[in-house]
Structure 1
Amino acid sequence: MPVAAQVLIAGTLFSRLGDTLATLGLVLHAADRDIRFGVTEVMLAELIPTVLAAPLIGSVVDRFSARTVCLWALLVQALSLGAATAVGGFHVRVALVALSALAGVASVAAGFKMLPAVAGEQHTGRANSLLTAGLSVAGLIGPPLAGFLNSLWGTPALLAADAASFLVLAGCTVLAVPSTVDVAIGRRPATRLADGYRALRDAPVVGTLMPALAAAMVATSIENVAGVYYLRDVVNGNDTMFGLFLATWALGSVPGALLAGRVGWSDRHSLLIIGGVLGIGLGLLLTGLIPVAAVIFPLFLIAGFGNGACNVGLRNAVHARVPAEVHGSAWACFQALSRSCIGVGYLLGTPNSVVSSQGQVIISGVIPLAAMVWAAVVTLRRGQSTVTEPSS
């Protein structure tokens, strides 16, 4: 893989780690100060702006130079987090984080668009594999690191670290993507807000399996909330064991992502997505049905493995099946779809008097399995109609 792609991936991972520090720093601050609905406010600040503005931002990425858009977006993110470091009000800080999240849609979409141009078509699958595995590692080490640094220096230091991480990523982007590369990155003079959604819907593999992918995202989000209560009950309130459950999922996703990037696997988009969603669904379903810690650990490894493979399969499928000139819009719109699914999952996983937390985890496993069965039926029907259609 070209060194330029490795530099871009390293910068992206460093920036993602910074995001984890900043988000958890604000969450811990809200919890420590007992700010009413503070944790929810932080989550919504990163969720709602992305869902509403992603189509517009994606069209900007496709209309102009992806490199230029990425650098400007990273500058906005760095300035937003830098300002959040300087101000003292919690709600003002959250508003600045929301602004950074908006700019983040542009930088992430532009980064997705630039990766094939930097890595080369033959190495894009491997680059997506390494990036996905690295994001899993960042998600694994980010929370404990945030807790440790927050106890030492407080939330402003974590926000400052995030601001610095965007400047590091900007530097990596300048090094990895010279201005001369821009001509190789597809640009579309005129774009419409719905282009990204249409591109995802019409793309082979991606369009067919998008409902199953959405179901998997809803399912994991349900478990993220309901699992806090269910898994802690399983281990009798032992927070260390609960943390190990979460780490096990992240550990499983690393080999899943790496395997999906191996030669002979990276172009099997349908297999990676279908197998990944099945692994997630089965892992969650059996986790809910068998409340035994010794059993849940390997189930979380399986579900995490599927999660990693599925993520790589999706990225590769979009890169390969969606035209390059709408990569920015397509990935921005996928971010909006994923955030929407996450929001729905959080609501469905919220404790209530109708379904127990164990029942919610079981439901979270059923949802992706049912969606995959539906996708298989639709695919078979389409195949049969193609075969039986009379020739003219």
Structure 2
Amino acid sequence: MTAAAPTRTSGRAVLANRNFAVYFWSATISNAGSFMQGITVPFTLYELTKSNSWVGFGSVAALIPSLLVSPVSGTLSDRFSRREVLLWANALQLVSAIMLTICALADVLSPWLIIGLVGFGSVGAGFQYSAAQSIAAVLLPPEQMLQGVRLNSVGFTAARAVGPAIAGIVLDAWGPATTFTLNAVSFVVVIIGLSFVKVGEGHRPTHSRAWRAELAEGVAYVWHRKALRLIVLTAFVGAFFGQSMAQLAAGLVREEFGVEGAGLGWLSAMYGLGALVSSLVLVLFGDQIRRSVMVRSGLTLFAAGITISIATSSLAVGLFGFLVSGMAHALTGISLNTSMQAQVAEGYRGRAVTAYLMALLAGMPLGAFCGGFIGDQIGLRPALGGFAAVIVVYVVYAQFRRDGLAAMDANTVAEADPA
């Protein structure tokens, strides 16, 4: 089965679609709030414990529950309205953010309490991810879908740049309670936005088979397609050895750069700024550059960014390293996501995207946890240096043993592997 190659369309034309624009802007605001909390949690855990392992454990709590519910999330996204799935998922995260706010105001936050509340919010996030990644397909016409996927990523990475910068300032001025409050408000914004988004009845699939059967069918769909397997594997490698550095920034700020919360906010903001720059480049030129080239370039930049960040105790140099790593994050993430979206049939989209997301959701916290544990034993610099070396090895492997990742360049629905 094949699909026509997507025609080129502008970001302005996509944003002229009212439903997509409402979702895009409200989701960007909500993501900025989530990234504020994403800075506040490791900062608070490190302040309470002075342990990189606890920081890594916080990352596990933020992402592993999402990983566990992701298979169900993908099936939900294929069975029901993605808008309704997003409404309920954001409502769960709002409850978590409100509870963190109350506990911070009451000055009763403890490491285990933070872990528990973050884990609860992570369940809601897990139900959100698949629907959020695949909603462009039900808000936009087919010829605008891939550009919509890229624009969603631009909003996400803009939030990654703005949220941490605001969080660093707010943490220094008013403390964690204020950042948790702002995150709660951001969930209210996206819930209101989603209430105004309309999805056509033709986009509401009906399924009568058992959940377990549909889930197994989705796993088999990805597993029996070489291109999709390669996307999932590469996503895991990039998340485990590359993206995890952002989760370990709290330890780097204190141990290697000797600065406080504002420094953590600026490191994360530079990471987000780099991701935003790459995202804009992909929106403008993504149809002209092969995705395989962008993924290999992104992985190489990850290794370079990590190396730069650990090469010195200068915060200015560290900021540049995080900028380069942020560029790597967007180049790999958006290109892999676009490749996955371009090569799956609509009836499998939610479940196939879930496989990609599970690679990210498993890789990032596991990488942060392992990096934090190793960092406590031998230091974060050599631990992250080892991560950079593994990325280089994978790039060489991809170039010579996987045809330079050329399977990611197709714009047609992937065929099953020969029997």
2:311 and 2:68 map into 1 onto residues whose CA distance is 37
2:81 and 2:155 map into 1 onto residues whose CA distance is 26
Deviation per CA, 1:301-329: give whole Å up to 9, x if none. Answer: 44332321222112211211122222222
Cα drift, residue 65 of structure 1: 2.2
Q: Which moved more, 1:309-318 or 1:22-31?
A: 22-31
Alignment map for 1:180-329 (pairs within 5 Å): 181-184=200-203, 186=205, 188-190=207-209, 191=211, 192-203=214-225, 205-221=227-243, 223-224=245-246, 237=258, 245-262=267-284, 265=287, 268-285=290-307, 300-329=322-351
Q: Conserved in 1, the CA contact under 8 Å of 2:55 and 2:250?
A: no
Cα drift, residue 257 of structure 1: 1.0
Q: Conserved in 1, the CA contact under 8 Å of 2:298 and 2:331?
A: yes
1:231 and 1:31 map into 2 onto residues whose CA distance is 11
Correspondence 1:365 to 2:388: yes
Question: Which residue in the other structure is 2:136 paired with?
Answer: 115
Question: Which residue in the other structure is 1:76 paired with?
Answer: 92
Question: Which residue in the other structure is 1:169 paired with?
Answer: 190
Residue identity matched to 2:23: L
Q: Conserved in 2, the CA contact under 8 Å of 1:284 and 1:299?
A: yes
1:77 and 1:374 map into 2 onto residues whose CA distance is 40
CA pair 154-211 structure 1, distance change in 2 beyond 3 A: same
Question: Which residue in the other structure is 2:28 paired with?
Answer: 13
Question: Which residue in the other structure is 2:3 paired with?
Answer: none
CA pair 281-212 structure 1, distance change in 2 beyond 3 A: farther
Cα drift, residue 340 of structure 1: 1.6
2:183 and 2:405 map into 1 onto residues whose CA distance is 47
Question: Which residue in the other structure is 2:61 paired with?
Answer: 45
Q: Conserved in 2, the CA contact under 8 Å of 1:206 and 1:314?
A: no
Deviation per CA, 1:185-224: give whole Å up to 9, x if none. Answer: 5554434334444444445644224323322211224534
Task: Give the aligned length.
Answer: 380
Correspondence 1:54 to 2:77: no
CA pair 310-160 structure 1, distance change in 2 beyond 3 A: same
Q: Conserved in 2, the CA contact under 8 Å of 1:279 and 1:303?
A: yes
Residue identity matched to 2:203: A
CA pair 259-16 structure 1, distance change in 2 beyond 3 A: same
CA pair 80-362 structure 1, distance change in 2 beyond 3 A: closer
Residue identity matched to 2:66: T
CA pair 86-113 structure 1, distance change in 2 beyond 3 A: same
2:57 and 2:371 map into 1 onto residues whose CA distance is 17
Cα drift, residue 20 of structure 1: 2.5
Q: Conserved in 2, the CA contact under 8 Å of 1:266 and 1:316?
A: no
Q: Conserved in 2, the CA contact under 8 Å of 1:50 and 1:335?
A: no
CA pair 306-353 structure 1, distance change in 2 beyond 3 A: closer
1:187 and 1:98 map into 2 onto residues whose CA distance is 31
Cα drift, residue 40 of structure 1: 5.4
Q: Conserved in 2, the CA contact under 8 Å of 1:62 and 1:328?
A: yes
Correspondence 1:63 to 2:85: no
> What SS does the aligned partner of 1:262 have?
helix
CA pair 3-246 structure 1, distance change in 2 beyond 3 A: same
Q: Which moved more, 1:21-30 or 1:300-309?
A: 21-30
1:92 and 1:358 map into 2 onto residues whose CA distance is 30
CA pair 169-196 structure 1, distance change in 2 beyond 3 A: farther
> What SS does the aligned partner of 2:402 have?
helix
Cα drift, residue 17 of structure 1: 1.6
Which ranges of structure 2 fall in alignment gaps of 5 or more residues?
A: 1-13, 407-419
Alignment map for 1:309-388 (pairs within 5 Å): 309-350=331-372, 351-352=374-375, 355-380=378-403
Q: Conserved in 1, the CA contact under 8 Å of 2:101 and 2:181?
A: yes
1:318 and 1:187 map into 2 onto residues whose CA distance is 23
Residue identity matched to 1:284: I
Q: Which moved more, 1:158-167 or 1:3-12?
A: 158-167
Residue identity matched to 1:313: S
CA pair 5-33 structure 1, distance change in 2 beyond 3 A: same
1:142 and 1:381 map into 2 onto residues whose CA distance is 35
Q: Conserved in 2, the CA contact under 8 Å of 1:259 and 1:309?
A: no
> What SS does the aligned partner of 1:322 have?
coil
* CA RMSD of superposed structures (Å): 3.7
Question: Which residue in the other structure is 2:126 paired with?
Answer: 105
Report the TM-score when normalising by structure 2.
0.76
Cα drift, residue 366 of structure 1: 1.9
Question: Which residue in the other structure is 2:158 paired with?
Answer: 137
CA pair 148-303 structure 1, distance change in 2 beyond 3 A: closer
Work out which of the residue numbers 16, 19, 37 in structure 2 matches 1:4. Answer: 19
2:252 and 2:92 map into 1 onto residues whose CA distance is 40
CA pair 267-345 structure 1, distance change in 2 beyond 3 A: same
Residue identity matched to 2:94: A
Cα drift, residue 93 of structure 1: 5.8
Cα drift, residue 169 of structure 1: 1.2
Q: Conserved in 2, the CA contact under 8 Å of 1:125 and 1:261?
A: no
